[in-house]
Amino acid sequence: MISPDLSDRVSLVTGSATGVGRELLLAMADCGADVAVHYRKSAEEAAAVADRARGADVGVTTVQGDVTDPDAVNGLFDRVEVDLGTVDVLVNNVGAFAPVHWEEMAFETWQTVLETNLNGTYLCSKRALPGMREAGEGRIVNVGYASGDRALVSPKNFPYFVAKTGVLMFTRMLAADTADDGITVNAVSPYVVENSDEFPDDLPRDRPAGFADLAQAVLFFLDPDSDYISGANVEISGGWLPEKV
């Protein structure tokens, strides 16, 4: 795995108490970044991740908050800034997944999927930008979904597809809007990951994406030499072809 020098960076990964977020945060800590472990309800898991990150001899804090609540987002960023400094790297990882037919899905679930995936990405990015603009540099990486740029849909888990397509559109827009600010905005879009809720019968390359596969792409975007790469989306799909029939 590539290992960019992140020793002068403060990284916030939303939803980093478990799963993909946890592994991305630990990969950044291994590269020397000070890290903020974010959680909403998983306080014990967040504390355990923080302990692991401290083993890399970096600054660590834990922050709690609902990324769909503007006041909570402001509060968690305030805490990071007090404990570690201005956020240089933001990974928008939070996003609910609900593999249910749209007619059978509760409205509250519909809202949660849309708000955590799209609104959370918007709110956290908006809050991070002033500090990044003042510093003249910054990195934002959003987590999308493979095929999101094709606007593919399914009756099952429909709001997730809609939200992730929105995340990729937001990524392109924000990359253009920050082109003169020293900030890059990119996306990584997995298909099936090793901790996914469901696995198809026919996996590309006979396996799901590993956490390391996603970390490889994220760390590439964070490398100082990747400062011209913005508005990109890397699919971590093993070559999955959704059009195949």
Q: Where are the alpha helices (DSSP H) in the chain?
A: 19-30, 43-54, 70-83, 107-114, 120-135, 158-177, 211-222
**What's the whole-number mean pLDDT along residues 212-222?**
96
CATH number of the domain enclosing 19: 3.40.50.720
Query: Is residue 242 pLDDT above 60, yes or no?
Result: yes
Q: Which of the residue ranges 115-119, 135-139, 209-213 would you say has the lowest mean pLDDT? A: 209-213
| Domain count within the chain | 1
What is the band of 244 on the pLDDT scale with cuts at 50, 70, 90? low
- Please check whether residue 10 is in contact with residue 32, taking contact to mean a CB–CB distance below 8 angstroms: no
Asked if residues 186 and 175 have their Cβ atoms less than 8 Å apart, the reply is: yes
| Confidence at residue 126, expressed as pLDDT on a 0 to 100 scale | 98
DSSP one-letter code for 116: I
Q: Supply the pLDDT for residue 232.
A: 98
Which residue range is the domain that position 55 belongs to?
10-236
Half-sphere exposure of 23 (CA within 13 A, CB side): 15
40 within domain boundaries: yes
Q: Is residue 3 part of a domain?
A: no
**With the CA atoms of 235, 237, 243 and 245 taken in that order, what torsion angle do they form, in degrees rounded to the nearest 10?**
180
145 has catalytic annotation: no
CB 104 within 8 A of CB 155: no
Active-site residue identified among 39, 145, 160, 191: 160
pLDDT, tens digit (0-9, with 9 covering 90-100), for 8-54: 999 999 999 999 999 999 999 999 999 999 999 999 999 999 999 99
CA distance 11 to 88: 6
Query: Can you read off the two tokens belonging to residue 142?
Result: 């959003």
Structure-model confidence comparison of residues 166 and 207, the more confident one: 166
pLDDT at 160 over 50: yes
The two counts, helices (H) then strands (E), for the chain are: 7, 7
Q: Are strands 233-236 and 183-190 parallel, antiparallel or unpaired?
A: parallel
- What three-state secondary structure class fits 153? coil
Mean pLDDT taken over the chain: 94
Give, in order, the Cα–Cα distances in Å from 114 to each of 47, 72, 111, 153: 28, 18, 5, 14
Looking at residue 27, what is its pLDDT? 98
Q: Is 242 within the bounds of a domain?
A: no
Is position 215 within any domain?
yes
Q: How confident is the model at residue 245 (pLDDT cuts 50, 70, 90)?
A: very low
Burial grade of 37 (CB within 10 A; 0-12, 13-18, 19 or more): buried
Residue 92 lies in a domain: yes
How many Cα atoms within 13 Å fall on the side-chain side of residue 127?
28
The pTM assigned to this predicted structure is: 0.95
Give tens-digit pLDDT for 40-94.
999 999 999 999 999 999 999 999 999 999 999 999 999 999 999 999 999 999 9
pLDDT digits (tens, 9 = 90+) for 164-181: 999 999 999 999 999 999
Name residues whose C-beta falls within 8 Å of residue 199's C-beta, 6 or more positions apart in sequence: 192, 208
